[in-house]
């Protein structure tokens, strides 16, 4: 499609549209207080709207803005969201609940492979990349979905399928996690939960309090220096690192592309920084999340409605997948003798990430809301490593 055929073709105009779309749906959710947004997050609308704007020639399907988002915004929001990971704090509060979350994460990896084997005959040959992207969302969050999409080279159509499946499952899974509170006594008795676990968890939560201070101008400068510095290191080191991997292990050359290597380098450096004073810089998660939604809008702008024909089979596979994840969580609860509240929060931290974990925590035990956010950030830390692995394992298992 030629840029002259569309209504808005200038790069700054396209960027303005993407920002406006992302802002509009959050404003609509805030002003209307519509219950619809409790079950269908703004993410779906933010992705779908540019799909139609593109297909109706309002904005182009190709723009320097989209390329810039992939090359520059992606590593930036990865760093912004990962420097806040605080593993010791979440372990202190949630205890063995962290092990249940890791079991749920293992369920996402195993379930992704099994589900793909069950439905891949009805999907295109590159659908394993879409499954990898969805694994990114279900291990960590939207940022991991987008990072995995780039690492695996998934098409916009496959990302669209992952977004649809993610939201359909969310509509079903979130109410189940909320309803599980009503079965707390029976579940905890079945899981042989120690009588003092809840009291100990509450005590640890009360000791963990985050100071919420207004950011200062120098702090924003420090944050910019850290974020762009890490992104620059990733960009500079990735080509030589990818070449070294290809020369020493030719079989891994296709797996560790320059893009994959760059994202993994940035992820690792950001996690290292999370153990330093950089983790104290304020507002990094909020800024990173805002960039994520603009990035999602950019992905939608490149997609075609025709690419969504495989949605029924893809979503059916996602239902098989979520059942396996849930089974792993329940088994983990019994093995580690963990209460239903922690199990629900752990699953929400995987499947719904930082947007849903606090909702589930507030419903089950409000004092665990800060810990639920930390647990979701732990998922962010794992997602960029395990989600591409899930996609590759699905491909190998299917013999592709």
In a domain, 267, yes or no: yes
In a domain, 167, yes or no: yes
In a domain, 158, yes or no: yes
Per-residue pLDDT tens over the stretch 134-192 = 999 999 888 899 999 999 999 888 998 999 999 889 888 988 998 999 898 899 999 99
Q: What pLDDT sits at residue 306?
A: 65
Specify if 321 maps to a domain.
Answer: yes
Residue 301 lies inside a defined structural domain of this protein: no
**The pLDDT of residue 4 is above 60:** no
Q: Structural domain tally of the chain? A: 1
Residue 58 has pLDDT above 50, yes or no: yes
Confidence of residue 208 (pLDDT cuts 50, 70, 90): low
Q: Is residue 220 part of a domain?
A: no
Average pLDDT, the chain: 88
Residue 162 included in any domain: yes
pLDDT digits (tens, 9 = 90+) for 335-373: 999 999 999 999 999 998 877 888 898 888 888 887 888
The residue-averaged pLDDT of 92-98 equals 83
CB-based contact 263:150 (threshold 8 Å) = yes
Return the pLDDT at 51.
Answer: 86
Rounded mean pLDDT, 68-93: 86
Residue 374 lies in domain: 86-214+261-285+307-397
DSSP reduced 3-state for 226: helix
pLDDT (average), residues 109-126: 95
Q: Would residue 291 count as lying in a domain?
A: no
């Amino acid at each position: 499609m030629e840029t002259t055929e569309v209504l808005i073709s200038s790069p700054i105009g396209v960027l303005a549209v993407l920002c406006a779309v992302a802002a509009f749906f959050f404003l609509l959710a805030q002003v209307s207080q519509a219950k619809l947004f409790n079950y269908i997050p703004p993410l779906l609308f933010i992705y779908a709207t540019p799909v139609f704007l593109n297909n109706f020639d309002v904005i182009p399907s190709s723009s320097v803005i989209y390329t810039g988002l992939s090359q520059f915004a992606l590593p930036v929001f990865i760093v912004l969201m990962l420097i806040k990971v605080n593993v010791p704090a979440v372990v202190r509060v949630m205890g063995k609940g962290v092990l249940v979350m890791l079991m749920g994460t293992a369920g996402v990896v195993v379930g992704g492979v099994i589900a793909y084997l069950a439905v891949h005959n009805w999907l295109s040959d590159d659908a394993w990349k879409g499954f990898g992207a969805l694994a990114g969302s279900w291990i960590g969050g939207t940022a991991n979905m987008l990072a995995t999409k780039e690492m695996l080279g998934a098409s916009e159509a496959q990302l669209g399928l992952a977004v649809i499946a993610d939201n359909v499952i969310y509509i079903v899974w979130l109410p189940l996690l909320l309803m599980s509170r009503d079965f707390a006594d029976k579940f905890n008795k079945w899981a042989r939960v120690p009588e003092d676990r809840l009291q100990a968890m509450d005590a640890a939560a009360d000791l963990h309090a985050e100071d919420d201070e207004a950011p200062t101008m120098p702090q924003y400068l420090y944050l910019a220096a850290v974020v762009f510095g890490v992104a620059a290191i990733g960009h500079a080191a990735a080509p030589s690192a990818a070449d070294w991997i290809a020369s020493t292990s030719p079989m891994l050359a296709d797996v560790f592309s320059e893009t994959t290597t760059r994202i993994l380098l940035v992820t690792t450096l950001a996690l290292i920084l999370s153990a330093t004073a950089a983790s104290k810089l304020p507002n990094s998660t909020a800024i990173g999340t805002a960039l994520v939604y603009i990035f999602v809008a950019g992905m939608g702008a490149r997609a075609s409605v025709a690419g969504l024909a495989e949605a029924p089979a893809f979503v059916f596979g996602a239902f098989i997948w979520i059942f396996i994840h849930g089974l792993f969580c329940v088994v983990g609860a019994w093995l580690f003798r963990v209460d239903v509240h922690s199990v629900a929060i752990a699953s929400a931290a995987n499947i719904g990430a930082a947007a849903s974990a606090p909702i589930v925590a507030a419903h089950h035990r409000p004092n665990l809301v800060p810990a639920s956010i930390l647990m979701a950030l732990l998922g962010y830390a794992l997602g960029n490593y395990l989600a591409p692995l899930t996609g590759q394992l699905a491909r190998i298992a299917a013999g592709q």
